[in-house]
Structure 1
Amino acid sequence: MLEPAVWLLALLGAALLSQRHPGRQRGFIVAALVLMLIGTNGGLINEAYLAWELPPVALRTLPPHDAGVLLTGVTRTQKSPHDRVYLAEGADRVTHTLWLYRAGRIKSIIISGGSGSLRAVAHTEAQDIATLLRLSGVPARHILVEERSRNTRENALNTKLLLARHPEIKTLVLITSAFHQRRALGCFRKAGLLPTAFPADFRTNDHRRRTLDYWLPDAGAFGRWSHLLHELTGYLTYKLLGYC
């Protein structure tokens, strides 16, 4: 129901079924055209994401912390053969976490996330990412894995449980996608944790001159609108439920 492409098909279907009512049919066709103009506008979706994403944090402004909490959601556990790790969109979460570790901004890495899939998986996302970090030279003693979480709220609650077993970790950096950072921060604060935000995986380009090509149609814009609407709905739902 959150897919703009589905709305477009519904409007066109309604127009087809309204042939006996010309006025109503024109209304459906106009609505479909407006939706297409908005939904395929690359500049407009970029502006919408810029308004929602938390801005990037310069490394030089980030003081050292005891640990970084890396939220999963960037690997494809359903893909086989299961003798390797398959990265999906959002892999910046992993690479930027590694960057923070190498830059001395975090001393250890907490990977939080199991699988939100209803089907059985061969291994969890947290295990996949732990494998990548070890291959990148991060010692196993500096990696903590929390692999029970199925959503953002559980990420926060289960991370708090893990930290109870590691009292030496007092300061945290929360690493997740920029569009997801608001909801994640809200959940962690609701759980009594006060991490420093470090957005990654930006879905935007920087502000630039609004030339004609900025507003030209973009075939991928529909998918980006769907993704943003999904996150906005998730944020509002979490707010209503008191999760963030």
Structure 2
Amino acid sequence: MFFILSKLLLLAFSPGLWLLALLVAAMVARPAGRWRGRWLGAALLLLLLGGNNALVNSATLVWELPPVPLAAVAPADAAVLLTGITAEGKSPHDRVYLNSGADRLTNALWLYRAGRVRRIIISGGSNALHPVPGRTSEARQLSTLLRLAGVPPSAILLEERSRNTRENALYTKQLLASHPAIKSLVLVTSAFHERRALGCFAKVGLHPVPFPAGYRSTDPSQGLSYWLLPSLDALSRWGRLLHELVGYAAYKVRGYC
């Protein structure tokens, strides 16, 4: 049930959906009534504030953990790569499709190629409510890409059961019980998700070094368009950030992180 509710949060905390609801409310309100103007005013305010790239970028910069230079990462036994970066709904299913979080994969590969980790643990089964029948786990799909990039199978470990961040931590802990030589870890996930992931891993007794990837923020700009021009993409970015903030709070309440 918690897994399903977490997916519904993504819809409930979508500014785009709020904007649509306000416009629909204005349409059904009485033409001569005062509520039509109020609904339209609220929609305009949401568009001006929620569509402002500067505001959402500033908020995202505060929430995301800062980048970690490769040189600052002490050599570790393994990197833990969290999944959630493939697109399951695209066919033909004869290849791996990556979404905007693909930096998780490339950053884990970078750590390996730079000699900062000796192995890569890929943690994740499927985070879809209705996984495509017959599809392999996301962890196995990403392992295919790592092997194509030259990482030997002996350097890859798979955890294929987890569906969310809490299970990533729980099942990685169980996997490590069979590999006692792996003691030091680097955790690779999206920068906006790193706080929650670190908390979940700490709850199960694992304390990896963070290596944030897949940044949704950019360096601040001094251009007028950055500060003044509304953007529908900004609404989507607010939705993702709000979803993560609520998810973090829910995990805190349940004692997951």
TM-score class, shorter:
over 0.9
Are residue 214 (structure 1) and residue 243 (structure 2) matched?
A: no
8 Å CA contact 2:189, 2:214 repeated in 1: yes
Corresponding residue for 1:240?
Answer: 253
Corresponding residue for 1:111?
Answer: 122
Corresponding residue for 2:108?
Answer: 97
Q: Give the TM-score, by structure 2 length.
A: 0.91
Q: 2:135 aligns with which of 114, 122, 128?
A: 122
* Distance in 2 separating the partners of 1:214 and 1:121: 45
8 Å CA contact 1:77, 1:123 repeated in 2: no
Paired AA for residue 74 in structure 1: I
* Distance in 2 separating the partners of 1:241 and 1:34: 34
8 Å CA contact 1:77, 1:124 repeated in 2: no
Corresponding residue for 1:65?
Answer: 76
* Distance in 2 separating the partners of 1:26 and 1:20: 9
* Distance in 2 separating the partners of 1:190 and 1:63: 23
* Distance in 1 separating the partners of 2:57 and 2:77: 34
> CA-to-partner distance for each residue in 1:57-105, whole Å, 9 max, x for gaps?
0111111011000000111234222221111110000001000001011
Cα displacement (A) at 1:160:
0.2
SS of equivalent to 2:240: helix
Cα displacement (A) at 1:19:
2.0
8 Å CA contact 2:54, 2:220 repeated in 1: no
* Distance in 2 separating the partners of 1:38 and 1:51: 17
- Pair 243,219 (structure 1): closer, same or farther in 2 beyond 3 Å: same
Corresponding residue for 1:188?
Answer: 201
Are residue 162 (structure 1) and residue 172 (structure 2) matched?
A: no
- Runs of 4+ in structure 1 deviating by more than 4 angstroms, as ranges, are none
Q: 2:214 aligns with which of 201, 204, 207?
A: 201
Cα displacement (A) at 1:21:
6.0
* Distance in 1 separating the partners of 2:153 and 2:192: 30
Paired AA for residue 76 in structure 2: H
Q: 2:153 aligns with which of 135, 140, 153?
A: 140
Query: Please, what is the CA RMSD of the aligned residues?
Result: 1.3
* Distance in 1 separating the partners of 2:240 and 2:32: 35
SS of equivalent to 1:79: coil
The share of aligned pairs that are identical, in percent, is: 58
* Distance in 2 separating the partners of 1:146 and 1:154: 10
* Distance in 2 separating the partners of 1:236 and 1:53: 15
After TM superposition, the structure 1 = structure 2 runs for residues 22-33 of structure 1, keeping only pairs within 5 Å, are: 22-33=33-44
Give the gaps of 5 or more residues in structure 2: 1-11
8 Å CA contact 2:19, 2:43 repeated in 1: yes
> CA-to-partner distance for each residue in 1:5-33, whole Å, 9 max, x for gaps?
22112212222333266333222221111
Number of equivalenced pairs: 243
Deviation larger for 14-23 or 80-89: 14-23
Corresponding residue for 2:3?
Answer: none
* Distance in 2 separating the partners of 1:134 and 1:181: 25
Cα displacement (A) at 1:128:
0.6
> CA-to-partner distance for each residue in 1:33-61, whole Å, 9 max, x for gaps?
10010121111111111011110001111
SS of equivalent to 1:232: helix
> CA-to-partner distance for each residue in 1:218-242, whole Å, 9 max, x for gaps?
2311111111111111111111111
SS of equivalent to 2:118: strand
* Distance in 2 separating the partners of 1:13 and 1:107: 55
> CA-to-partner distance for each residue in 1:158-211, whole Å, 9 max, x for gaps?
0000001001000000000001001101100011100000000001111343x3
SS of equivalent to 1:220: helix
